[in-house]
Homo-oligomer: A and B are copies of this chain.
Amino acid sequence: MDIARSPLARPFPEMPPIAGVTLRVARAGYKAWDRADLTLVELTEGTSVAGVLTTSACASSEVEMGRDQVKRGHARALVVNAGNSNAFTGLRGREAVEQIVGQVAEALGCGTHEVFVSSTGVIGVPLPKDKARAGVEAALAAEPCGWEDAARAIGTTDTFTKGAGAAAMLGQTRVELAGFIKGSGMIAPDMATMLGYIFTDAAVVPGFLQEMLEKANAATFSCITVDGDTSTSDTVLAFATGKAGNRPLASWHDAGADAFYAALLEVCRELAQLVVRDGEGAQKFIEIAVTGAESDDSARRVGLAIANSPLVKTAIAGGDANWGRVVMAVGKAGEPADRDRLSIGFGGTWAARDGQPLPDYDEAPVAKHLQGEDVRIDVDLGIGSGRATVWTCDLTHGYIAINADYRS
């Protein structure tokens, strides 16, 4: 099935190369397609790594291995296989990953714990070792390529390539960040895992990079949902080569740490939103801002309960300012809330305040707002100071068409 480019797509940004990062792609032929589907990123010696990986109890071997590797903090290479997720493949799947790691470690003269592997695509089929071996060999011999080539090679059901960059000044030193990501549903017909990678030439010690990535993740990747489904392979990795030459960032007290974090957060937020913008069947991008919650975490859970509600998502698809469905979603979230303090608005207009519809509620500006591509829902719980913003897309016939009409 040919899936049209999402109407919410954004152009791939111009991003400068990152010193210490070399991108290469090759065609392993994991599927019968005529495109590169194996990405090999070579990282200079001394590169720090941080990662956030799916908590799924059914994670792939790649994820299990990645969880351990991240703890050691150093990376020399990343390999991404597209077209086969290698999930739910038992020992044979594990062997395929170990083969890739061994092959790359030998070629680059590094430790096996420094070679990261991700796979995305069909599940239950062990990654074919012969294709992987030939693909890695071809990639090692390939000419370096640009960001968009790599972003395209890691894609599966994505309808557009997704990248985001930023820069920060650490004292007198300018550092660059560049990232790319794939994902369209949390899972699509072929397990369209979310895989995101961020690279920087800043020097950051691994533990602090991990701390910053987890913090940024909590406010970005953990705040998006397309269909509430979580892949067995979701992965975000951040690599810091240190080539910019700044004094390594090691804590929030270091000069420039805040500036670097702000840039990292910006890249993570943009990448996360791009995944939502490629949500299966998405016609509208929805931002849900929750305030007045007991805590930030509680606000995020309320926001996700709203974002995951099929009734809210279909109402937005239909351009219907159905705040009753938002009330329902708040009620079911299981978080502290008080019906009589709850306020709900769309696009800056309050529809209900303190548990009651506003007597002078004017639906006209709301109806107009809901005609647009970008929809904003405000929810104030009125009981505390916790706040969070989450992002999702609407639920349309397109989602059903992609996921039900198509036989995987």
- A interface residues, Cβ below 8 angstroms from B: 54-59, 87-90, 122-125, 185-187, 189, 191, 227-232, 308-311, 314-315, 317-320, 322-325, 327-340, 342, 352, 354-357, 394-397, 399-401, 403-408
> Which residues of the other chain, B, contact A325 by a CB distance below 8 angstroms?
187, 229
> Does B229 lie within 8 Å of A57, measured CB to CB?
no
Known: A57-B338, A232-B328, A327-B58. A406 touches B123 (CB 8 A): no
> Which of B87, B232, B308, B328 is A187 in contact with, Cβ under 8 Å?
B328
Oligomeric state, in copies: 2
> Does B310 lie within 8 Å of A399, measured CB to CB?
yes
Expressed in whole angstroms, the minimum distance between the Cβ of A92 and any Cβ of chain B is 8
Does more than half of chain A's interface fall in helix, strand or loop, or is it mixed?
A: loop
Known: A88-B357, A328-B231, A352-B124. A396 touches B400 (CB 8 A): yes
Known: A322-B408, A408-B322. A57 touches B396 (CB 8 A): no
> Does A124 lie within 8 Å of B324, measured CB to CB?
yes
> Which residues of the other chain, B, contact A334 by a CB distance below 8 angstroms?
55, 57
A232 to B227, CA, bound (A): 22
> Does B58 lie within 8 Å of A330, measured CB to CB?
yes
> Which residues of the other chain, B, contact A311 by a CB distance below 8 angstroms?
185-187, 227, 229, 403
Known: A400-B395, A400-B396, A404-B396. A328 touches B57 (CB 8 A): no
Known: A56-B332, A230-B331. A90 touches B187 (CB 8 A): no
A324 to B325, CA, bound (A): 31
Q: Which of A185, A317, A327 has the most CB of B within 10 A?
A: A327
